[in-house]
Structure 1
Amino acid sequence: MNHYLVTGGAGFIGSHVCETLLKAGHSVCAYDSFDPYYPRELKERNLADCRVHPNFMLVEGDIRDRELLATTLRAQPIAAVIHLAARAGVRPSLEQPELYAQVNIDATVGLFELCRAVGVKQVVFASSSSVYGDRDGGPFRESDNTDRPLSPYGSTKKAGEVIAHVYSHLYGFSIACLRFFTVYGPRQRPDLAIRKFVHRALNDETIPVFGDGTSRRDYTHVNDIVNGITGALNWVNGAAGRYGIFNLGSHSPVELNRLLAGIEAGVGHPLKIDRQPHQPGDVFQTFADTSLAEIDLGFRHEVNFDDGLRDFIAWMRANDLS
């Protein structure tokens, strides 16, 4: 049995990671600030099953609180850190770029420094497809240029990858940087498009749609993302001094109009749509080449989008508190 620290452990992806690790027989410490970015009740519900597990503990604290984070890291030997805590979202980052830099860059450096001090050198870092910026053509590869993200959020995730490389090069950390592509599924944050659309559709409310609906996203089910994270844990624990960047996606972009049609079919009535101009910071498409993750992490895209969307709509009917 290994012990893992999951920062952002009460969130959408983090809570699924905690559950998966507990089911695999490990012990888990979730570290989360319960930031009011969205209602605390949603995160409390995310952790309902974890809280009753004897090998689970929760530390409530800000990722910028270095004293509390140091105490948490020293509490017991940690096999690896899964660093998911971040200020998320492209559009909000346009309004609060300094806050995004503090949480996503400064706090990541602080975490790595504390890990170095206590001898924890295995880290899985959550990056984002936002680092690719806006580009045309075929699938995005890890070797592609990522020097021109279109949002403060994307730039902070790019910075996190660069910082991770420094700690791998200088101090022998083994770090896997995972570029998540548009994650959806149960417990999705209420600010994300699919959840907002489904919530409004179920309540017969108007759905604001930016652009003409031809933009495409590589929607990836949270179960597939978690499988990629567990593969990355095996990878970072496999050898010292490793550094890698891996796309986690479906390799199958879905047009926005197709998403809307799927939601309409799922809720059983026509959608009320308000077409609005394209938003600054939004990219036209995301499209993951996942071959590297398949080879090194054993990653496999398993959840078909249509099935995943149908299941998500059913989950929303039963659980929506937005």
Structure 2
Amino acid sequence: MTVLVTGAAGFIGYHVAERLLRDGVRVVGLDNLNSYYDVRLKEARLARLRGHNRFAFVRAALEDRQVIEDAFAEHRFTHVVNLAAQAGVRHSLEAPRDYIDSNIVGFMNILECCRHGEVAHLVYASSSSVYGGNEKLPFSVSDNVDHPKSLYAATKKANELMAHAYSSLYGIPTTGLRFFTVYGPWGRPDMAMYLFLDAIYAGKPIKVFNNGDMIRDFTYIDDIVESVVRLVPQAAAPDPGFDPKAPDPATSWAPARVYNIGNSRQEHLMHVIGLLEQATGIEAAKEFLPMQPGDVQATWADTAALEAAIGFTPDTPIEEGVRRYVAWYRDYHGK
């Protein structure tokens, strides 16, 4: 098995690559190390991966078609885990073309290379953002997801449709993963918990949107990684029970699947802030603000399909996850 992990210097990509390496798999990481957030954090993750003798690195963006094609030709990947993307709902309001370049053009390059490279399974990152304006909770992979609230969400839904088309046309097994608010050591600085910790230790107010009335399904990174590595060798297969007269978005006549990966628990934002205060020993100053464009008030994952497929359900309690996250943050920043 030789696995391409795109976004290998990113949060989830780094953890997935490291786990595969520990499991004895040969991994080629690809990342463009862009400046969307502090490049030093990306370089620190990458340095840890370079310590493994089964790891090789390619610096490139997904939209660099020739470089991507050359990497596939050289390494002959058996499996691909595509975690590279332009992330962030709010940034998509400011720089929409970044999302088309990386998430649409770049994903097209991955699909074409998987097609011609005879890849056994493509696993790719989608997002809980695809549920958009849905208010029926918990979110199920059988739900309609045609009402995105941001361009970021629209590109992720487009990825699912593009992957399905390639599965249908060329028989490429594809599995899309709808991640729910991932957090943990080596996390992204643009995510809420990291931003809160930065503000707390700097003695600045944390920004609390929708006046604190926000609910999220927070998923600890180790649970994400366990789910991904179990899915990689388990290629999606056609569903013999699929009924085209009553189509279920969760399955298909083609070898294509989508799964939620979440903790299956709703956590109120103010409770999470309280856990951060408890772990740091510092009471946070708070600036209460209205809901931001593109945001949703609540998320909650139904992971029944994931559990049925891999026999695993993410279950790290938020209390334990926050404690570990704060411990890493303090160590990394010398607090």
Q: TM-score, normalised by structure 2?
A: 0.92
Letter in structure 2 aligned against 1:15:
Y
The aligned amino acid for 1:297 is I
Aligned to 1:289: 302
CA contact (8 A) 1:231 1:298 kept: no
The CA distance in 1 between the partners of 2:296 and 2:78, in whole Å, is: 37
Deviations 1:251-277, CA, capped at 9 Å, x for gaps: 001111111111111111211101111
Q: CA deviation at 1:297?
A: 2.4
- Once the two structures are TM-superposed, the CA of residue 237 in structure 1 deviates from its matched residue by 7.1
Matched, 1:252 2:251: no
- What does residue range 58-73 of structure 1 map to in structure 2 within 5 Å? 58-73=57-72
CA shift, 1:118, in A, is 2.0
1:263 corresponds to = 276
The answer on whether the counterparts of 1:135 and 1:285 sit within 8 Å (CA) in structure 2 is no
Greater CA drift, 149-158 or 37-46 = 37-46
Corresponding residue number in structure 1 for 2:199: 200
Q: Residues 22-61 of structure 1 correspond to what in structure 2 (within 5 A)? A: 22-61=21-60
Q: Could you tell which deviates more after superposition, 133-142 or 300-309?
A: 133-142
Alignment counterpart, residue 305 of structure 1, candidates 314, 318, 332: 318
Residue 313 (structure 1) shift: 0.7
**Post-superposition shift, 1:238?**
7.5
Q: Shift in Å at residue 77 of structure 1?
A: 2.6
In structure 1, stretches of 5+ residues that fail to align are none
Give unmatched runs, 5+ long, in structure 2: 240-253
* Shift, 1:98, TM fit: 2.2
CA distance in 2, matches of 1:137, 1:302: 22
Q: Distance in 1 between matches of 2:18 and 2:79?
A: 16
The equivalent of 2:104 in structure 1 is 105
- In 1: Cα distance, 2:75 partner to 2:304 partner: 36
- Partners of 1:84 and 1:301 lie apart in 2 by 19
The answer to whether the aligner puts 1:279 opposite 2:278 as a matched pair is no
User: How many angstroms apart in 2 are the aligned matches of 1:164 and 1:13?
Assistant: 20
Whether the aligned pair in 1 keeps the contact of 2:7 and 2:13 (CA below 8 Å) is: yes
What letter matches 1:127 in structure 2?
S
Compute the TM-score of the two structures, normalised by the length of structure 1.
Answer: 0.96
Q: Any conservation in 2 of the 1:132–1:148 contact (CA below 8 Å)?
A: yes
Residue identity in the other structure for 2:143:
D
% identity of equivalent residues = 39
Query: Structure 2: how far apart are the matches of 1:108 and 1:76?
Result: 19
8 Å contact from structure 2 (residues 26, 55) kept in 1: yes
- Output the amino acid matched with 2:263: S
1:18 is displaced (CA, Å) by 0.7
Q: 2:256 aligns with which of 229, 243, 260?
A: 243
Structure 1 residues 210-252: Cα deviation after superposition (integer angstroms, max 9, x where no partner) = 1121210000011111111112212217789621010000000
CA drift at 1:83: 0.4
SS at match of 1:75: helix
